[in-house]
Amino acid sequence: MSNAAYGLLGAPLAMAALPLFVQLPAYYATHLGVALAPLGGVLFAARLIDMLQDPLLGHLLDRAQAQQRRWMALGAAVLALAFAALWLPPQAGAPGAWLALMLVLAYGAHSLVNIAYLAWGAHLPRALGAVAWREGMGLAGMLAASLVPAAILAGDAAQVRPRLAVYSLVYALLLLLAMLVLLRYAPPAASRTAPQGWRDTLRELTRNRAVRALLLPYFLNALSVAVPATLALFYIGDQLGAPQQAGVFLACYFGAAACGLPAWTALARKLGPLRCWRLGMLLSVAGFCGAALLGPGDLLAYGAVCIAAGAALGADLALPPVLLGRALGAHLGAGAGFGIFTLLGKLALALAGLSLPLLAWLGYQPGHGGGPSLTLAYAVLPCFLKLLAIAASRSTT
């Protein structure tokens, strides 16, 4: 039960993360009339701030270990309010300016809670089980976030705002409940000696070879996941010719990841998390090699690809945080370590966005069928990045 109490917060954190990156831009463009050029500028600036603030937030959390619970509770309250405010902007005024302000608040609050949450789990007595619960609940939250807002926005236009208000209220209650369960029933995180200044943190990071060895394979692997995630809907619609089946394939992908988490956790206890992570990356390579051979109508085969890649995602989610927790040592703070991890993950998402102009340069046009350039970017490039990550992980101990 203690692992479940810790893991529950993963659901509302994931439910907030997906709309912030995927659904809100389309909502502001199509429902609120924000032009694409200023919308893109707002998103770029907010995401740049979000990416760069993570190491700072992690360092500050390390310096305030005694107050982390209070900071998490405050961050959760700000996140709930900003989440509602993003969906329900004032009906009079400039929605673009409102979006900019609320995104900065939401990103900051989400990063604060998430980094503290990851650092908490890194030092629990049964970290593997706790991480499995956290990532499993996160996948459940991601599924909910991918289905519910989409259904609301696709419904009656007159009912969109009232239904978003109800959705925001339910989200706030779930976040509050998960935070209360965490603070009351989850096992306390172990207290650690952390560097007190930036120079101390950088010095400890320089000395800690185990952490430094994890950064490159983690980044390469995160990029190998972010690229196909960015291109999945284009591949399903143009290469397979089945845009209406996108929801089914995404459900197979996330469902396989959730089902695979307990298996990876059990296997990691026998073989070790690093070896299991490599096996997961190899499974993903096998799946995407299959995707490189598919064309229009190969729906069952692509379903198998989604299941294989989703099962591999379970290893990607559960095992790198455990490896980082073990590598931190006695003096490098967990907040700083996970702040760097989250920065690398967001950098991978940002770089994955460059795959779209690359495809345009190669001649791909959405809605006009797939082709070698789309297959290369969606299936072959992630395999190459995964193999590089496996090779880079050889230096990890």
Task: Give pLDDT tens digits for 78-109.
Answer: 999 999 999 999 987 778 889 889 988 998 99
Looking at residue 81, its pLDDT comes to: 96
DSSP letter string over 38-49?
HHHHHHHHHHHH
Among 172, 175, 173, 151, CA closest to 163: 151
pLDDT value of position 191: 59
Distances (CA, A) of 337 to 195, 234, 324, 352, 389: 12, 35, 7, 23, 19
> Where does CATH 1.20.1250.20 sit in the chain?
1-188, 204-397
Q: Which CATH number fits domain 1-188: 3.40.367.20, 1.10.10.10, 3.10.180.10, 1.20.1250.20?
A: 1.20.1250.20
Distance CA 80, CA 65 (A): 23
Residues 264, 275 contacting (CB under 8 angstroms): no
Mean pLDDT of 161-187: 93
96-99: long-range contacts at Cβ-Cβ below 8 A with a sequence spacing of 24 or more?
96/28, 96/34, 96/38, 96/39, 96/42, 99/24, 99/28, 99/34, 99/39, 99/42
Residue 358's pLDDT band, with cuts at 50, 70 and 90, is confident
For residue 178, the model assigns a pLDDT of: 94
Count CB-CB contacts under 10 A for residue 273: 24
Confidence band for 326, pLDDT divided at 50, 70 and 90: confident
When pLDDT is averaged across residues 181-209 and rounded to a whole number, the result is 69
**Could you tell me the pLDDT band of residue 12, with boundaries at 50, 70 and 90?**
very high
Pull the structure tokens for residue 356. Answer: 């779209």
* 366, 233 contact by CB (below 8 A): no
Whole-structure pTM value: 0.74
Confidence of residue 329 (pLDDT cuts 50, 70, 90): low
pLDDT > 70? residue 335 = no
Structure tokens at 55: 């190491």
In the numeric block, the tokens 């996140």 are attached to 79
pLDDT band at 134 (very low <50, low <70, confident <90, very high): confident
- The overall average pLDDT reported for the chain is 83
To which residue do tokens 């007595």 refer?
Answer: 125
* Average pLDDT for 122-151: 79
> C-alpha angle 190/191/194, rounded to 5°?
130
d(CA 263, CA 277) in angstroms, rounded, equals: 12
- Band (pLDDT 50/70/90 cuts) for residue 371 is confident
Cα gap 111→75, rounded to integer Å:
9
> Looking at the domain 204-397, which fold is it?
Growth Hormone; Chain: A; (1.20.1250)
pLDDT value, residue 334: 64
pLDDT for 265 beyond 70? yes
